[in-house]
């Protein structure tokens, strides 16, 4: 790198026999210090939009097209800091965005579509790193690529992601990967893989291992079962046929496995019951939020995540009409504390109150309260008969002011979308999805908003989330096809 300091800019503008400038060569070199060198070259004034002579590629085109997925994101994020022209097309009429879609780098495409600043792209990457590498981890396991499995787990891959078939990396490590599970499972488990993660048929890795004839025949099954049990696997999860690990072992007459499973069977039954109680408690927990009332005799509002049958039903159309009318017409008394005033306006007031509160330059819409809730959590928790229209208006105001639509509660890691799904609040789900809320984020117990809706048997919320996921996937597929159709005529 020291020679770079000594070179003049005209040397950096020269082309090699392949029609590339030094900055293009560095971008696709695969060097460990490529990001640092690129930064230095761009700081010295080299044009970030410099093109190759032959294919008219910029460094962004080259990085997205040629770099390994393990290196592409840091390079792209660094290039984004120097304001590249994302609309430039190469000789094949493709933008970097088109190339990302064609390679199914959907998260990268989101960065390259022109909707984010460099700072926003960095924040998006940090939030998405688990998803970005989680999908690649599943593919690496399917491809039996131990080097990539190791790298993606180091890069922060979400080892508990499920693909469109409802299977995760830990499942494929048992069923498809040609590398011994005794080598791949420790990598996945050390990366946070849940030993009790269930696939589309209800099977855990333990169930799948016992079902595997190959593992029984090669003698690895006892060691794998012992490893999974030692790392917290429960023998009590049943598949679609109603068989848990013990039943599967008994059906096959695997006496050595039966002995291993019975060793901790009582504890497993207790753990299973406790886990179910914890999930139920987490999804139905009461959230107490101070209303900051000036009157000391009023208690904090208590919002409970309720199942649908607990929610009061509207008896008549007339009742619905009454509830659709704005309940609050009074102006919320202004507090000396602008942050408290905003929260009070969100919890008790009208859209006008909220707009008034947002007018204070000292208000921080991205901050959390003492209970670990962000401002959008408050409007979704509001349960005083506010109409869907008013709730949506307030949400739009907060989002326009910069509220984080993916903010996670400090304790349970629930996003606004999780909370809305838990109470079948379709109006809020609609707004959040419109503003591109990340519907694949998981909370503390690894539930997505869709899984929360399914757990609470909220069909409307479930259907809306499923349809959105389907449309997003279809949009990406179609965009990928279209990008591949571009050519010089």
The one-digit pLDDT tens for each residue of the chain (489 residues) are 545 444 444 455 688 888 999 999 999 998 889 999 999 999 999 999 999 998 999 999 999 999 887 789 889 999 999 999 999 999 999 999 999 988 878 788 888 988 888 888 887 777 677 877 888 899 999 999 999 999 999 888 889 888 878 889 999 999 999 999 999 999 999 998 999 988 888 899 999 999 999 999 999 999 999 999 999 999 988 888 899 999 999 999 999 999 999 887 666 565 555 555 554 554 444 333 332 232 333 333 333 343 334 433 333 333 343 334 444 444 567 777 888 899 999 999 999 999 999 988 888 888 888 888 999 999 999 998 899 999 999 999 999 988 989 888 888 889 999 999 999 999 999 999 999 898 888 887 878 899 899 988 999 999 999 999 888 777 766 655 555 444 443
Asked whether the beta carbons of 349 and 328 are under 8 A apart, the reply is yes
Strand partners, 288: 302
- The whole-number pLDDT of residue 446 equals 76
Pick the CATH number of 2-116 from 1.25.40.20, 1.10.3720.10, 1.10.150.130, 3.30.70.1430: 1.25.40.20
Tokens standing for residue 265: 């069977």
- The whole-number pLDDT of residue 154 equals 86
- Burial of 438 (C-beta count, 10 Å sphere; 0-12/13-18/19+): middle
Q: How many Cβ atoms are within 10 Å of 387's Cβ, its own excluded?
A: 15
- The whole-number pLDDT of residue 422 equals 94
Strand 301-304 and strand 286-289: the pairing is antiparallel
Q: How far apart (Å, rounded) are the C-alpha atoms in residues 127 and 139?
A: 21
What is the fold, at CATH topology level, of the domain defined by 292-477? 1.25.40
pTM value is 0.50
H or E stretch covering 288: strand 286-289
- Taking each continuous run of H as one helix and of E as one strand, the counts in the chain are 27, 2
Alpha-carbon dihedral 213, 216, 222, 228, rounded to 10 degrees: -20
Task: Decide if 2-116 and 292-477 have a common fold.
Answer: yes
Q: How far apart (Å, rounded) are the C-alpha atoms in residues 393 and 387?
A: 10
- The whole-number pLDDT of residue 414 equals 92
Asked whether the beta carbons of 50 and 58 are under 8 A apart, the reply is yes
Task: Tell whether the torsion through CA atoms of 352, 353, 356 and 361 is positive or negative.
Answer: negative
Q: How many Cβ atoms are within 10 Å of 89's Cβ, its own excluded?
A: 15
H or E stretch covering 257: helix 255-263
- Burial of 157 (C-beta count, 10 Å sphere; 0-12/13-18/19+): buried
Alpha-carbon dihedral 251, 257, 262, 264, rounded to 10 degrees: -140
- Domain ranges, ordered by start, for the chain: 2-116, 149-281, 292-477
Asked whether the beta carbons of 220 and 183 are under 8 A apart, the reply is no
Q: How far apart (Å, rounded) are the C-alpha atoms in residues 228 and 255?
A: 18
CA distances from 28 to 252, 334, 441 (A): 53, 58, 32
- The whole-number pLDDT of residue 296 equals 33
H or E stretch covering 302: strand 301-304
- DSSP assigned state of 333: P
- The whole-number pLDDT of residue 347 equals 94
The runs of H, that is alpha helices, within 359-458 are 375-381, 388-400, 416-422, 426-434, 449-455
CATH superfamily of 149-281: Ankyrin repeat-containing domain (1.25.40.20)
Cα separation of the two ends of the chain: 42
Say whether 301 sits in a helix, a strand or coil: strand
């Amino acid at each position: 790198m020291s020679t770079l300091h000594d070179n003049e800019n005209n040397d950096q503008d020269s082309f090699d026999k392949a029609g590339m400038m030094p900055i293009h060569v560095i971008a696709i070199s695969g060097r460990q210090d490529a990001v640092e060198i690129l930064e230095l070259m761009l700081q010295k004034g080299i044009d970030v939009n410099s093109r190759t002579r032959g294919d008219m590629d910029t460094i962004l085109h080259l990085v997205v097209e040629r770099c390994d997925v393990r290196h592409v994101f840091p390079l792209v994020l660094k290039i984004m800091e120097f304001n590249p022209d994302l609309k430039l097309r190469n000789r094949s009429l493709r933008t970097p965005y088109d190339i990302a879609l064609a390679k199914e780098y959907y998260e990268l495409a989101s960065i390259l579509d022109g909707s984010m600043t460099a700072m926003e792209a960095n924040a998006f990457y940090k939030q998405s790193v688990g998803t970005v590498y989680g999908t690649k981890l599943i593919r690496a396991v399917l491809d039996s690529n131990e080097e990539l499995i190791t790298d993606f787990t180091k890069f922060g891959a979400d080892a508990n992601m499920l693909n469109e078939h409802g299977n995760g990396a830990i499942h494929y490590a048992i069923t498809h990967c040609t590398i011994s599970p005794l080598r791949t499972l420790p990598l996945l488990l050390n990366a946070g893989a849940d030993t009790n993660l269930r696939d589309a048929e209800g099977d855990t890795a333990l169930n799948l291992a016992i079902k595997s004839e190959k593992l029984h025949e090669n003698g690895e099954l006892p060691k794998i079962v012992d490893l999974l049990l030692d790392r917290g696997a429960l023998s009590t999860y049943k598949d679609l046929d109603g068989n848990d690990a013990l039943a599967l072992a008994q059906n096959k007459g695997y006496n050595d496995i039966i002995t291993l499973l019975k060793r901790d069977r009582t504890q497993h039954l207790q753990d299973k019951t406790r886990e179910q109680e914890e999930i139920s408690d987490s999804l139905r927990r009461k959230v107490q939020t101070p209303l900051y009332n000036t009157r000391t005799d009023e208690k904090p509002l208590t919002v409970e995540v309720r199942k649908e049958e607990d929610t009061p039903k509207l008896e008549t159309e007339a009742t619905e009409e009454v509830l659709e009318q704005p309940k609050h017409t009074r102006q919320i008394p202004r507090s000396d504390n602008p942050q408290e005033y905003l929260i009070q306006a969100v919890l008790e007031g009208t859209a006008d109150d909220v707009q008034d509160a947002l007018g204070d330059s000292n208000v921080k819409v991205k901050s959390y309260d003492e209970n670990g809730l962000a401002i959008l959590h408050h409007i979704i928790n509001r349960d005083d008969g506010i109409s869907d229209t008013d709730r949506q208006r307030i949400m739009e105001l907060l989002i326009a002011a910069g509220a984080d639509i993916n903010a996670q509660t400090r304790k349970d890691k629930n996003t606004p979308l999780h909370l809305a799904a838990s109470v079948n609040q379709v109006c809020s789900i609609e707004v959040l999805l419109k503003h591109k809320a990340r519907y694949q984020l998981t909370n503390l117990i690894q539930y997505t908003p869709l899984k929360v809706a399914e757990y609470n048997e909220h069909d409307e919320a479930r259907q809306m989330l499923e349809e959105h996921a389907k449309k997003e996937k279809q949009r990406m597929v179609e965009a990928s096809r279209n990008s591949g159709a571009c050519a010089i005529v």
